[in-house]
């Protein structure tokens, strides 16, 4: 005969009784205490036992639910966060996309916190969390004009405190003065700027790297027309909001002195809140590879733990062979930990790697940061940030089939590639022309075949060399796509 103690929490787990089993146990218990009790169908005691049985069954259901909600593999809903918090784990929150925007306008224009700009094609809105200033003290471009023409006079421009002087001659002209200044500045390669005449005939000074600002000062016979300064903006909404280069062009918050905005480079993609499935998997990975063991999986999982470091969107840890050395008359192999990480500040990454790597183990990578050890001494920690590889695509479409190629086939092909291929490419993923060809052929009516040639450059201004061969992307590299680098023709 079944006993109530046979159900509920057992050594092997939780055993749930059926309603019939529970009813039999209740009726048998009553008969043992009251042998003459009438439990026939429809009797008062039969009705009472049915009520008691329903209540007892719901109690067992609640106990069973509590049991499974206390187990990592079964827990659901908000209980997931509560349970994993016991192990000092919290769900990785959603983050916002961010992008460096160049603001062009009058020198001294203040950009207050909360200023909004947007991508007019997608209506994604971005705002700044820090105050900005369009200023010659920190700019990436400046437009200068000659205020007065004087003979035998010094015209001076200082860039990052490096002074360039042009002395005008007799019968000086404005063209002579501008050419003289341009040649003088371009003759100093240390300045890291390019100088030329713009379409209005004014002197345009631009940083060689639009992410690196410079300061500029000038003599009283020179005037500044417009200045372009850099400011970081983040999306209003959280999640994976794509920010392609040159897509942020609309000023939402009108400011006197602010003329135009644009982003010269792709933005940093935000992320959605960590799903329960990913959170659960991370819990099990960290439990399996406790970071105190200093194994490669343990290091990787430490960087996946949002409680240890914020903002990491990609991490990979490898053991790199550096070469051989002679130690105690024996040849030994020199190895180092190579951490490839996207997101997180350089200081936070270096400190966590120092804490989790094995003692005495070298590190390698394209970024070097100093950390303090327990003795207060400086140690160099190296790791890699993903290197951008700019992808160029040339597509030749062959028409055919039962449909007519749409008139906007070029724009449609670019959209399909960006949304159904580029968005799925992660750090270290190779680029295959056949995959791009399939996206175009399968999603645009009237396309019989798409011949795809691809290329990669290290700099956005380099000239691509196209091929139909696969492009290999290393673990420490990331492919960067943009519609402006996709050419579609028939």
Q: Which residue is it, tokens 């492919």?
A: 479
Task: Write out pLDDT tens, residues 242-277.
Answer: 999 999 999 999 999 999 999 999 999 998 998 988
* Structure letter (DSSP) for residue 201: S
Domain positions in the chain: 4-69, 96-262, 289-383, 388-489
Distances (CA, A) of 80 to 6, 9, 303, 373: 29, 21, 21, 36
The mean per-residue pLDDT over the stretch 64-68 comes to 83
SS3 56: helix
Selection from 237, 209, 185, 198 nearest residue 102 by Cα = 209
Residues in contact with 107: Cβ distance below 8 Å, sequence separation at least 6, in sequence order: 134, 135, 136, 224, 226, 227
Identify the helix (H) or strand (E) that includes residue 252. none
Distance CA 277, CA 210 (A): 40
Phi/psi of residue 228, each to 5°?
Answer: -120, 120
**What's the average model confidence in pLDDT over 102-115?**
96
SS3 of residue 70 by DSSP = coil
Count CB-CB contacts under 10 A for residue 440.
Answer: 25
Distance from C-alpha of 159 to C-alpha of 117, rounded to nearest angstrom: 29
Long-range CB contact pairs, 155-158, < 8 A, 24+: 155/180, 155/181, 155/219, 155/221, 155/222, 156/218, 156/219, 156/222, 157/181, 157/185, 157/205, 157/216, 157/217, 157/218, 157/219, 157/222, 158/215, 158/216, 158/217, 158/218
Grouping H, G, I as helix, E, B as strand and the rest as coil, residue 282 is helix
Quick: pLDDT tens for 377-412. 789 999 999 999 999 999 999 887 777 888 899 999
The answer to whether 73 and 280 have CB atoms below 8 angstroms apart is yes
Q: Inform me whether the pLDDT recorded for 142 exceeds 60.
A: yes
Mean pLDDT of the residues in the chain: 90
- Kindly report the backbone phi and psi dihedral angles of residue 483, in degrees, each rounded to the nearest multiple of 5, phi listed first: -60, -30
- Paired with 115 in beta bridges are none
Between helices 276-288 and 296-303, what is the axis angle to 10°?
A: 140
Whether the full predicted model's pTM is greater than 0.75, yes or no, is no
Does residue 292 carry a pLDDT above 80?
A: no
**What is the Cα 278 distance to its own chain's centre?**
17
pLDDT > 90: what percent of the chain?
A: 57
Task: Name the β-bridge partners of 224.
Answer: 144
pLDDT score recorded for residue 47:
92
What confidence tens digit (pLDDT) does each residue in 316-358 have?
898 988 888 877 778 888 899 999 999 999 999 999 999 888 8
* Residues with Cβ within 8 Å of residue 289, at least 6 apart in sequence: 295, 297, 298, 300, 301
Q: Is 166 helix (H, G, I), strand (E, B) or coil?
A: strand
Q: How many C-beta neighbours within 10 Å does residue 95 have? A: 21
Nearest in space to 266 (alpha carbons), one of 456, 485, 472, 115: 485
Q: Which of these, 456, 463, 449, 443, lies nearest to 482 by C-alpha position?
A: 456
pLDDT-based confidence at 1, cuts 50/70/90?
low
């Amino acid at each position: 005969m079944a006993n109530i103690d046979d159900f509920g929490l057992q050594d092997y787990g939780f055993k749930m009784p059926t309603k019939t089993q529970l009813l039999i146990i209740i009726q048998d218990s009553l008969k043992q205490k009251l042998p003459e009790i009438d439990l026939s169908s429809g009797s008062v005691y039969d009705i009472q036992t049915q009520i008691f049985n329903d209540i007892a069954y719901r109690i067992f259901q609640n106990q069973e639910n509590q049991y499974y909600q206390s187990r990592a593999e079964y827990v659901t809903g908000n209980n997931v966060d509560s349970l994993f918090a016991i192990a000092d784990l919290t769900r990785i929150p959603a983050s916002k996309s961010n992008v460096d925007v160049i603001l062009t306008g009058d020198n001294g224009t203040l950009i207050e916190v909360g200023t909004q700009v947007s991508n007019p094609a997608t209506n994604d809105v971005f705002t700044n969390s820090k105050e900005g200033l369009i200023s010659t003290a920190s700019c990436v471009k400046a437009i200068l004009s000659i205020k007065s023409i004087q003979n035998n006079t010094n015209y001076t421009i200082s860039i990052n405190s490096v002074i360039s002087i042009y002395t005008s001659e007799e019968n000086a002209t404005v063209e002579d003065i501008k050419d003289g200044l341009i040649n003088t500045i371009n003759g100093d390669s240390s300045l890291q700027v390019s100088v030329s005449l713009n379409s209005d005939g004014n002197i345009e000074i631009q940083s060689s790297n639009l992410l690196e600002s410079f300061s500029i000062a000038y003599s009283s016979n020179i005037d500044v027309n417009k200045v372009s300064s850099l400011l970081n903006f983040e999306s209003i909404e959280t999640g994976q909001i794509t920010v392609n280069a040159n897509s942020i062009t609309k000023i939402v918050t009108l400011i006197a002195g602010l003329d135009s905005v644009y982003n010269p480079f792709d933005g940093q993609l935000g992320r959605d809140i960590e799903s329960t499935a990913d959170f659960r998997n991370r819990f099990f990975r960290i439990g399996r590879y406790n970071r105190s063991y200093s194994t490669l999986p343990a290091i990787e999982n430490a960087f996946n733990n949002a409680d240890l470091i914020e903002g990491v969107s990609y991490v990979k840890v490898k053991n790199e062979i550096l070469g051989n050395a002679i130690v105690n008359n024996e040849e030994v192999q020199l190895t180092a930990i190579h951490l490839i990480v996207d997101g997180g500040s350089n200081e936070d990454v270096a400190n966590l790697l120092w804490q989790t790597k094995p003692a005495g183990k070298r590190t390698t990578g394209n970024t070097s940061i100093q950390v303090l050890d327990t003795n207060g001494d400086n140690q160099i920690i190296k790791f890699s940030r993903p290197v951008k590889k700019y992808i160029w695509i040339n597509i030749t479409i062959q028409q055919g089939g039962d449909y007519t190629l749409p008139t906007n086939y070029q724009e449609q092909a670019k959209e399909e590639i960006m949304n159904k291929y580029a968005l799925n490419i992660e750090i270290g993923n190779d680029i295959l022309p056949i995959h791009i060809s399939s996206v175009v052929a399968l999603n645009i009516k009237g396309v019989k075949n798409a011949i795809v040639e691809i290329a990669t450059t290290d700099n956005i201004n380099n000239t691509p060399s196209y091929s139909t061969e696969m492009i290999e992307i290393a673990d420490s590299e990331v492919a960067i796509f943009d519609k402006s680098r996709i050419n579609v023709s028939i």
